[in-house]
Structure formats: structure tokens, C-alpha cells
Structure 1
Amino acid sequence: MKSQLTTSLSMQTPINKNAIPYMTTNKLKSLYMKWTIVLFMLLSLNCLAQKPTIYGIGDSTMANKVKPEENPERGWGQLFPMFLTDNIKFDNRAVNGRSTRSFINEKFWESVYKSLKKGDYVFIQFGHNDQKEKDSTRYTNPHTAYRHNLIRFINETREKGATPILFSSICRRNFNENGVLIPTHGDYTLETRLVAQEYNVPFIDMEYYTELLEQKYGPEKSKKIHLHFAAGEIPYYKNEKHEDDTHLSVEGATAIAKIAAEELKKTKLDLVQYIKK
């Protein structure tokens, strides 16, 4: 009996001690691969669903204005979204009265920098307040501090995989007695052009195109694109307002936002696909 049992056992297929662990490892590998593929697909779908963002940084000529239902003033960045498709966001971080210096020192740039992600864009337009020679918190030398602040915006934007775009300042309505439009930005717009060339940054010459706009309207009619109102003409201004040739009316901001959109279309940026035809 014992001999028969021994013979029977010896005839059975030997047990492979590594079989169960081997099969388990294979199954685990297969399961791991499947979950990796699923996770990759989910992440890819999330990336596709996440819209790129354009951040606008600059001064009051670009900034959003409070109480738009009452206030006739607009920044061109406030109206720029009307020229964009729904597949991109415009986050206007421009702030009234800021220069490159104060925008950095007051942590506005830090906030934008932390929000930036790959595929985003940053519209950069400063100069009006960098000229404030009597204000140490805002003034910058165009060839030193202003220049290096622009370079910082460019480099840090690129660090995040985003694309910087430089805009020269829009011109002021500054016609002389002969109807000639006189520039007021000195070397700031020149330095913006030079930085754009040196660092291979897309450049939109807003000063030039807004000069054409002012000249098209002429010395008198160009008041319509700025803030010129008689006392009591609109409730928002209690007193007359006839000396603001820097800031923009709805008509002016719309026209300048359109200029920005049309000029961006001429670039080779992927951004073009997000601008309405």
C-alpha cells in the first residue's frame, strides 16, 4: 500500500514552487500597465480640457475699470476678450497707475507668475507710469531699470513654458497748435522695441498704430476716444472733464483692442487660432 502511494505520488506532475508567484507578478504587471494607460488618458483629457490663459499686465490704459455700468472709462484689455474665441481665457491683471517697478514691488507680478502654466501668454505693456520722475516708487530709467524689468517679465514667463508678448505704450492725444501729433513716451517705447529684438519676443507696435488712429480722428474728433465730458453730461463726472487725453472711452478702448487683435493675427503664434476671424 505504501509502495503504491509512493508510486502514485511520484507519477504526478511536480509542483513548481515559483508558478503562483510568477503568475501573480504577471497579473500585477498587466494590471499596473492598464492603470498607467488609464491614468495617462485621464491626464491627457484634463490637459486638453484646460484652456490656455492670456494674462494682461500693464497700467490703466489696459486695466479693467470699476462700475462699467456707470463709468465711461475702459482699458483696452477690458474689451479685448470680445475678439477671442471661447477656447481661451483672458485674465486682465493690469492695474491703474502701475509702472514696471511698482507692479513688481507690490507683488502683482508674483501673483501672475505663480498662476502661469505651459501654453499661456503674457501681454506686457508699461511705460506711462515709468515716466513719473517725481515718484520714486514708480519711476524707472528707460535704459536700465525699465529695460531690466521687461527682461525679467520675459525670462520668468518663459520659465513657466508660457509666451511673452511685448506691446509698446499707446500714444496720448497730444496735438500741437498745427494739428501735429507729438509723442510723449520718450525712450520707453524705443527700449521696448530693442528688448523685443534682442530677446526674440513678439512685438506689437501699439504706439504706431494708435498714432494712426488718433490722426484718423483728428485733433477735435479724437476727443471721442478719450474722456472729454462737459459738466453734468454724464452722472459719473460731476465736474467737466476735458483734460484726460491718456485714458480711453468705450469707443477708444474698443478700437485699440481691435488693433491689438488684428496685429496679433499677423504673427506666427499659436495664439492666432484663438482670435476671431
Structure 2
Amino acid sequence: MPRTVHLAGDSTAGPKTRAAAPETGWGMALPYYLADGVAVANHARNGRSSRSFVTQGRLDTLVRDLRPQDVLLVQFGHNDAKADDPERYTEPWTSYTEHLRRYLDAARTADAQPVLATPVERRRFDDAGDAVPAHGDYPAAMRALARQEGVPLVDVQRASLDLWQELGPDGTLDYFFHADDGRRDDTHFNPPGAGAVARMVAGALLDAGVLAEDEVRRLDEQVPDAWFRWLDQDPA
């Protein structure tokens, strides 16, 4: 039976419209690294946290499509840190992990495989040119929860920080959303960055035994920019 990877997350992973191009969520690139028998249902949406994704009913919507042997891949952290927004904010060691457990429980109830993914790192460098972590205790809290609950962890935070360190301040410019019209941010991706993160995720799912060797592909390739597609309107 075909499997589906259901992605719950925020704007770093979510689908984008043509108006936002070349901004690209890494979830848009994930299908290119999975075999034809593995689908991707990208439920990630701009601005969501582990809390607001639940309170807005998006987890309930996702769960309706979960089937046995599917994968529920959960990545939050960017918007959970917004302490001035009670609708999104969670505290790393309490409400953040409490909300993440709701995703784990939902997957288990559906006989699907829950997987936690630490938040992808922003493009931040110190004066010495070293990549600097930006997510505080959220990645550590998620790692601890994965150990406690016995679920696979895709450590995107560590992998992306290592890649940004390797690329350096200049090399990472092509990976983040720095558009020709002057729009710039160091959180969201251009196609090369989205492809690089998606490749990390696919490889980690293979290494964790969540996906089999015949369920992944192209792990030594970069997705060509021409393969990406943007939506005509914002997803519901």
C-alpha cells in the first residue's frame, strides 16, 4: 500500500504562492527525494506554532487523512518562541512538549509513525563567521521528548547549522530568501536551500529506519530550480 508523509510545520516548510517566489518551503522539495510510492501531504502553514496548529484545527484536519503505516513528521519551534503572542507561544520544557505529545498521540491512534524534527536553523553568523544557533532550548526539549517517547528524531537543527557553517556567510546567501527585488530574510529559503533541507530530512528518515532504501532517491543530488512549482493562491 502506498505511504504518505504528512508534514506539520511552519513557513520554513510550507507551500508558497507564485507571488512569494522564489521563497520556497523545504516541504515543496521533499517529494523529489522520495520514491514514487511515497506521497507528501504538506500541511505546514506560514506563522504556525505547535500550539496554533492545534488550536486552529489543523491537526484535526491532518488526522482525518492519516492511514496505518503513514508518517507524521512534526517540525515546530520558530513561532513557538514568540513570547509576545499568547496564541502561538509555548515554553520549551512545558507547553511546547505538551503540545508535541498531541501530535505523537494522534499518529499512534491512527497506527501511523510519528517523527519529530527539530527546527531548521536561521542564517546567523557571529563576527568570526561562525554559524550561531537561534532556537534556544526548543531543539533540546524536542530531543529529550523523542528519547522519552521512543520516537524517531530528525535533527534538522544540528544538520542545518553544520551546513551553514560549512557554507559560511557568503555561501549561504544563495540558500536563503534574498530576492532580486530587494526582499531579504535569513529564515526562509530559495530553491537551493529548500532542496538542501529536504535532502537532509529524507536522508535522516532513511537513517532512522522510518523509510526504506527503495522509498528514497536522489540523495546525492540537488533538486534543479526548474522543478519547483508554486501555488496560484494561498493554501487553505
TM-score calculated relative to the size of structure 2: 0.88
Asked if residue 212 in structure 1 is aligned to residue 151 in structure 2, the reply is no
What percentage of residue pairs aligned between the two structures are identical? 34
Asked if residue 67 in structure 1 is aligned to residue 18 in structure 2, the reply is yes
Q: Could you say which structure has the higher helix fraction?
A: 1
Name the counterpart of 2:4.
53
- Structure 1: state its 5+ residue gaps: 1-47
CA contact (8 A) 1:60 1:98 kept: yes
1:268 shift after superposition: 2.2
Counterpart residue identity of residue 164, structure 2: E
SS of aligned partner of 2:41: strand
Name the counterpart of 2:208.
267
SS of aligned partner of 2:6: strand
Asked if residue 245 in structure 1 is aligned to residue 186 in structure 2, the reply is yes
Show CA shifts across 1:74-125 (max 9, x none): 1111110001111121100000110011100111100011211111111100
Segments ≥4 residues shifted beyond 2 Å: 268-273
Q: Give, in whole Å, the separation in 2 of the partners of 1:200 and 1:272.
A: 22
- Structure 2: state its 5+ residue gaps: 219-236
SS of aligned partner of 2:126: coil
1:273 shift after superposition: 3.3
Instruction: Indicate which of 92, 95, 98 corresponds to 1:148.
Output: 98
TM-score calculated relative to the size of structure 1: 0.76
Tell which structure's C-alpha radius of gyration is larger: 1
Counterpart residue identity of residue 183, structure 2: K
Instruction: Indicate which of 84, 104, 118 corresponds to 1:134.
Output: 84
Name the counterpart of 2:36.
86
1:138 shift after superposition: 0.5
Q: Give, in whole Å, the separation in 2 of the partners of 1:156 and 1:122.
A: 9
CA contact (8 A) 1:264 1:272 kept: no
Q: Give, in whole Å, the separation in 2 of the partners of 1:133 and 1:196.
A: 24
Classify 1:270/1:172 alpha carbon distance in 2 versus 1 (closer, same or farther; 3 Å): closer
Q: Give, in whole Å, the separation in 2 of the partners of 1:186 and 1:272.
A: 34
Asked if residue 120 in structure 1 is aligned to residue 70 in structure 2, the reply is yes
1:271 shift after superposition: 4.6
Aligned ranges 1:157-176 → 2 under 5 Å: 157-176=107-126
Q: Give, in whole Å, the separation in 1 of the partners of 2:209 and 2:35.
A: 18
CA contact (8 A) 1:169 1:207 kept: yes
**CA RMSD, Structure 1 to Structure 2 (Å):** 1.4
SS of aligned partner of 1:227: strand
Instruction: Indicate which of 135, 138, 154 corresponds to 1:185.
Output: 135
Name the counterpart of 2:226.
none
Across the two proteins, how many residue pairs are aligned to each other? 218
